[in-house]
Structure 1
Amino acid sequence: MEGVEEILDQLYKKVLLGGTLEDDVHGYIFYLNPNLSEQADCTTPSLTRSNVSGTLGGVPGAKSPFEMSRAREVKLLQLTVMDVMLSRVLSAETEALAKEGYRKLTEGLLQSAEVDSKLIWMLQNSDKLMSHLAAKCLSSLLYFQLRAKMALSNPWITFCQKHLSESPESREAVHCLWILTVVIKEIFKDTHCQQAEMLKQLLAPFDITFEVFYNSLFSQHFGNFQNPSNVVNSLVCFLELLELLTASRIHLKLHFKSQRMLFLKPCALDILAWPIPAFVKRKLVIVIKKCLLGKMGEDLCRGSVPALMSPDHFLDGDVLALADALLHAVRLGLWKDLSVSGKPSRFGGDEVQPGCQPRIGPDYVTLRAASLITVKSLEIKFQNCTSAAEMRADLQKFMSELLTFLKSHLRRPLRLYNPCEWLFRVFIEQDDDMVEAAKASLSIYLQLTRGQDDTSGRLTQENEAWIHYTHRNGCNPHCIFLFLLKNIVFDSTVLLDFLISSETCFFEYFVKYLKLLQRDWGHFLAICKFFDAAKLQCGVHTHGAVTPSLVQDSRASHTIQRALASPVGHTVPHALASPVGHRNACPQVSWASNASSEPQSQVVMARQAHTVPAHGPPSQTPLSLVDYESSEDSDEEATNQHLANYRQTSSHQEMSRETQGLPRTSQNRKERSRSREHQQRLLLPLQSNPPNCATGEVAPNGAVQEVGLFLRTVKCLQELQDAIERLQEKNLFPYNPAALLKLLKVVGAKCGKV
């Protein structure tokens, strides 16, 4: 026994360093061949060289605990050496001579020692460590066979087909799914091999077996399972396998029946109502999200889909079937059964220290995924629907379900006057999903308003009805775009980053929105008025995100409706400009209560000119992120803070221009000065505000003022256009922005005519 351990230890060190095997490789087969007899003496050469059937027979005589422990250590060492050796064989960094020796040793273990059969036997061992190491070795061995263009192990195929067809809750089924998943991932990672041929060889024997397993796992009630823990493990492994199967359909153009199971058989959605851990439900929702967005396997498949490959004509129909199935489940109350309660996360762990109040927020990962697949399913359905009445009914039905679902989980309630803020309340921390949701909402609006143009800048009665309808259902595209600008503090450099980055679909969304803006100009102006009216009505306006205030007075909603219905050039009624009126209509809410669960926002002054008093009750002073009540110079510090924030933002933007290679020349300053003078001549939502007072600046009379939302939007788009043009002149823009610049110039021309 000691001799075997010593030789295995030397072999392990040599293989770990990638050394060459000087001796005859066939001599190592004796030491690497596992002895499956639990009673025989491990030092007996005849038993060590025997096959599976011979070793399983055993030799009479019991072994002491010490001998059994030593035998276990030898098996674990054998598995470790095989795992390292297989990784060296498959690695491109291993020297050719050493790799050839490892390859011959592996082939010898397969042919003479039947190591694949012995690994399958060890896979079923109750010893979890030994079972896991056997699974790792078996997955590497299968990948080695695929790379070497050898036939797959027949014992392995038989083993998988048997256990996947019999019971979805057995340990053996979990091992089969895990090994298959690991092998498929390795194939995706290796871009130098023939991925399609290897995957076809691997999946062909299990195509029917996967469908049988899918039906047996998802078609029965959770209470009928005898081993719930194994069912959870099967669900986790099988959901990952389903994503990989779909990814192979997209990226490698393979066609198997098992790749369409999730699309055509929506019974997998039933597990969202099962009493299983929340992370399993989250995994299913994320898999469905990737299927609807076409992002299956995006972490593994780095390259884009080859253009020369024939398109999958069934994929669009399958995605539509999945979207219809999801919407049907939502209609039946799918989100009512989904729990998204999160756990408290702290630097020191989940335990609450004595004297501390536990703050548990919702699981935003699940909230984002559930919201996105609902909106995306609506978009897919509307793209294949021609009935406007049906689309309107579906929009109201499913968006109402979604908003009800979100209101029950968000700690701060949504604005009553603008449900469109739900998108940024949910997606503010995830840029890619946020842009996807915005693009889907925009596509829904375009489908609903096909054939309606508003280039004249006037709102018809039908268009006004559409404004109210889209507001009520939280999918108004102009509200969503303005909320986006407000959340990025109208920083054009953030939009530029979005346009340059390939991590989001912002370019596609932005181009579609600019095209809509040209034909929906009157609607956009009305929405700007709507935001300004709502801001004045509430008395508090957030610079980066939405305000926590709620419109609780019926007069507030009525006044906002008047702002929407009034002509574009009409000013906001004087009643809204009264500081007492709008302060009473919308009570102020402290930020401190929700600071831990919601994204922080920068609070700025309302557009109405407020004179900062030297003394006064806190309820009559603008809200701030910092409580200044304990300071003697609270009002003065609050004003200085707003000025510092404004100067810091300006300095940050200048630094961003310098880091991007945009010099601050005198000519650029003159251009910006002329642009600023032109923008100051544009229409302001309130004509009483002085045009020379920028956001957050202090006027000569000591009042803090803010320019209108329309002017800030125009300024942001103009800065974006200037930045793109400067980058294009230096050939630093990653693609040709000519079409984008053309759209921005058209929008700029419309702004100049206001």
Structure 2
Amino acid sequence: MDMSASGGAEQLFQSLSHVYRGFLRGTCPRLMGGDVVKVIMSGVCGREHGKASWEISCSSMTLLEKITSGVLLHKLPADVSAGWEEILKALLEETDLMSQLVQQLHAEDQLVSHLAAKTVSRCVLYLLKKSGMWSPVWQKTCIQVFSSCPPGPAVDACLWSLIEVFKRLLTGPSQETVRNLVAVFDGSIMVLCSKLLPEEKRERTLDIFTFTKSWTTTFCLFLDLLEALTMSSISCEAEVCLRSQRIALIHSSALLTVISYCSEVFIRKKILLFLKKVLLQKVGDDWFPRDGMSFRLRYKSLSSDMSLLTRHVLQAVTAGCLQRIQTEPAASFGGAQHILVDEGPKPDGVMLRALSLVLLKSIELQLQAEVDGTTDVCGHLHSLWGFLRRSYASQVEVTHLCCWISLLFGDQDDDLMEAASSFLSIFLISRYIHAFDAKWFHYLHYRCLLFRVDL
């Protein structure tokens, strides 16, 4: 078949389809004068195809992403993979493919920009594997977008591609590459952070933020980037971490402010789940097993950073942030709300468990760090019990305040063990500090540690 890029959109689309079918069959078309390279490049550029430009651009980027993934993940037979590698080498070394792809990151069509982000990230990973270098064009574009563009599709596409590269590198052996990549993007990530998070000393600055759809999408991706950066501070085992790797800890006050004032329930829940992972030392667990890795002794300022996070959590509770958080009804499988005939809708247990663990773990860590016992444990627990009572309204009756723990975590084994561990630690430290102060037994009692999971 003649795979020339000339002859109009229809012939180009047929040529792309022919190459794609060959890839799916596990074969590699012969390089006839570089026709395969020309076809893919013409499709990625998509300049002179009129109404078919969108379909051809998406098809060519999908094909390129599939080819790169197949080669990277060793999904192809060795002889076939060698042929596709020749094509990739020609595309990346002899053409301006990366320049054309990064231009698509700015596309207004979100599908096009997302496909471009997927394809760019695969190409960057391929270059790193083959040469140990990432694309300068990709680096420059992402830095410029983070530094100068408002939240929107271009920022989202660059964030997605950077997150994907980080995640793949963190699962591999080359942690030196991760450190170098963080160093390159550190400054621009901090600029982006200043755009998305309110000023630390002015809690009300979030009032001026407009929670548009574009801001929400960008912020969610930014949280995913923070998880990757936090994970990089663990896996790289560097004594000193860059500021972007510590955003989750040193800018935790701003994250808590977003929880208090953001009207988007999904944003509040995502932040709480992220902070829960940080406090429980489980960042990155959704991506890959860590084989026992933990935060301990990973970098010099970690202890003070974690202490700062826990102080910010407790200060936010003291300032009344729980009064501003509204819980939504839980959604059952399929998205339909589960309504009980007599009791009304159940609250969102995922969010309540995350919030409770964030507070309990913060109390525990703060008690362990301080020497004078000044943490108002009773006040913080009272705020938590009051928040849970308000969230459940009149649906449940508890015989003792600590029964909220078994009510929340009874069917969640991992979270139940974390809550029980924190609660036991709080009880033991508080009993030691406050001896037989009677008020403590209103909030904490050793019998409360024998949770009844059938409540």
Same fold (TM over 0.5): yes
Work out the CA distance in 2 between the residues paired with 1:368 and 1:348.
20
Q: Of the candidates 321, 336, 339, which is equivalent to residue 308 of structure 2?
A: 321
Relative to structure 1, the CA distance from residue 217 to residue 386 in structure 2 (aligned partners, 3 Å threshold; closer, same or farther) is same
Equivalent pair of 2:364/2:422 in contact (CA under 8 Å): yes
Which residue is 1:271 aligned to?
A: 258
Work out the CA distance in 1 between the residues paired with 2:301 and 2:291.
20
SS at match of 1:349: coil
* Offset, 1:278: 0.7
Q: Of the candidates 207, 211, 221, which is equivalent to residue 186 of structure 2?
A: 207
Work out the CA distance in 1 between the residues paired with 2:343 and 2:117.
41
Work out the CA distance in 1 between the residues paired with 2:334 and 2:146.
42
Relative to structure 1, the CA distance from residue 349 to residue 413 in structure 2 (aligned partners, 3 Å threshold; closer, same or farther) is closer
SS at match of 2:324: coil
* Offset, 1:171: 2.1
* Offset, 1:76: 2.4
2:220 is the counterpart of 1:241: no
Relative to structure 1, the CA distance from residue 75 to residue 171 in structure 2 (aligned partners, 3 Å threshold; closer, same or farther) is closer
Equivalent pair of 1:125/1:131 in contact (CA under 8 Å): yes
Work out the CA distance in 2 between the residues paired with 1:152 and 1:321.
35
2:402 is the counterpart of 1:415: no
Work out the CA distance in 2 between the residues paired with 1:278 and 1:344.
13
Relative to structure 1, the CA distance from residue 154 to residue 272 in structure 2 (aligned partners, 3 Å threshold; closer, same or farther) is same
SS at match of 2:407: helix
Equivalent pair of 1:445/1:476 in contact (CA under 8 Å): yes
Which residue is 1:295 aligned to?
A: 282
SS at match of 1:408: helix
Q: Of the candidates 271, 274, 277, which is equivalent to residue 284 of structure 1?
A: 271
Work out the CA distance in 2 between the residues paired with 1:242 and 1:297.
10
Work out the CA distance in 1 between the residues paired with 2:227 and 2:181.
16
Which residue is 1:33 aligned to?
A: 41
Q: Of the candidates 179, 202, 212, which is equivalent to residue 161 of structure 2?
A: 179
* Offset, 1:169: 1.5
SS at match of 1:291: helix
Matches within 5 A, 1:7-406: 7-24=15-32, 26-34=34-42, 40=48, 68-189=50-171, 193-219=172-198, 221-225=205-209, 228-254=212-238, 255-265=241-251, 266-305=253-292, 311-343=298-330, 345=332, 349-350=336-337, 359-388=344-373, 390-391=374-375, 394-406=376-388
Report % sequence identity. Answer: 25
Equivalent pair of 2:61/2:119 in contact (CA under 8 Å): yes
* Offset, 1:422: 1.2
Work out the CA distance in 1 between the residues paired with 2:128 and 2:106.
24
Bigger CA radius of gyration = 1
Equivalent pair of 1:143/1:183 in contact (CA under 8 Å): yes
* More helix as a share of residues: 2
Equivalent pair of 1:19/1:98 in contact (CA under 8 Å): yes
Q: Match of 1:258, as an amino acid?
A: S
Work out the CA distance in 1 between the residues paired with 2:381 and 2:211.
38
Relative to structure 1, the CA distance from residue 135 to residue 317 in structure 2 (aligned partners, 3 Å threshold; closer, same or farther) is same
Work out the CA distance in 2 between the residues paired with 1:13 and 1:239.
38
Relative to structure 1, the CA distance from residue 227 to residue 434 in structure 2 (aligned partners, 3 Å threshold; closer, same or farther) is closer
Relative to structure 1, the CA distance from residue 25 to residue 91 in structure 2 (aligned partners, 3 Å threshold; closer, same or farther) is farther
Work out the CA distance in 1 between the residues paired with 2:335 and 2:118.
34
2:426 is the counterpart of 1:426: no
Which residue is 2:440 aligned to?
A: 470
* Offset, 1:440: 0.7
Work out the CA distance in 2 between the residues paired with 1:348 and 1:124.
33
C-alpha distance after superposition, 1:292-314 (max 9, x if no partner): 1111111223132469x974232
Work out the CA distance in 2 between the residues paired with 1:383 and 1:25.
70
Work out the CA distance in 2 between the residues paired with 1:114 and 1:233.
30
Q: Match of 2:178, as an amino acid?
A: L
Equivalent pair of 1:324/1:377 in contact (CA under 8 Å): yes
Work out the CA distance in 1 between the residues paired with 2:248 and 2:36.
46
Which structure 2 segments of 5+ residues have no match?
1-7, 200-204
2:426 is the counterpart of 1:444: yes
Work out the CA distance in 2 between the residues paired with 1:306 and 1:81.
37
C-alpha distance after superposition, 1:655-681 (max 9, x if no partner): xxxxxxxxxxxxxxxxxxxxxxxxxxx
- Please, which moves more after superposition, 265-274 or 356-365? 356-365
Equivalent pair of 1:188/1:300 in contact (CA under 8 Å): no
Q: Match of 1:29, as an amino acid?
A: V
Work out the CA distance in 2 between the residues paired with 1:346 and 1:89.
37
Work out the CA distance in 1 between the residues paired with 2:45 and 2:189.
34
* Offset, 1:376: 0.7
* Offset, 1:187: 2.5
* Offset, 1:358: 9.3
Work out the CA distance in 2 between the residues paired with 1:300 and 1:228.
29
Work out the CA distance in 2 between the residues paired with 1:432 and 1:479.
18
Which residue is 2:4 aligned to?
A: none
* Offset, 1:347: 6.3
Q: Match of 2:383, as an amino acid?
A: E
Work out the CA distance in 1 between the residues paired with 2:127 and 2:320.
48
C-alpha distance after superposition, 1:50-106 (max 9, x if no partner): xxxxxxxxxxxxxxxxxx223333222211211111111111232222222222211
RMSD of Structure 2 on Structure 1 (CA): 2.7
* Offset, 1:241: 1.0
Which structure 1 segments of 5+ residues have no match?
43-67, 452-461, 488-543, 546-754
* Offset, 1:327: 0.6
SS at match of 1:204: helix
* Offset, 1:429: 2.2
SS at match of 1:148: helix
Work out the CA distance in 2 between the residues paired with 1:108 and 1:119.
15
SS at match of 1:105: helix
- Please, which moves more after superposition, 71-80 or 420-429? 71-80
Equivalent pair of 2:347/2:391 in contact (CA under 8 Å): yes
Aligned length: 437
* Offset, 1:170: 2.8
Relative to structure 1, the CA distance from residue 129 to residue 171 in structure 2 (aligned partners, 3 Å threshold; closer, same or farther) is closer
TM-score in terms of structure 1 length: 0.54
Matches within 5 A, 1:472-491: 472-473=442-443, 475-481=444-450, 484=451, 486-487=452-453
Which residue is 1:456 aligned to?
A: none
* Offset, 1:377: 0.6
Relative to structure 1, the CA distance from residue 297 to residue 306 in structure 2 (aligned partners, 3 Å threshold; closer, same or farther) is closer
* Offset, 1:196: 0.7
* Offset, 1:469: 3.0
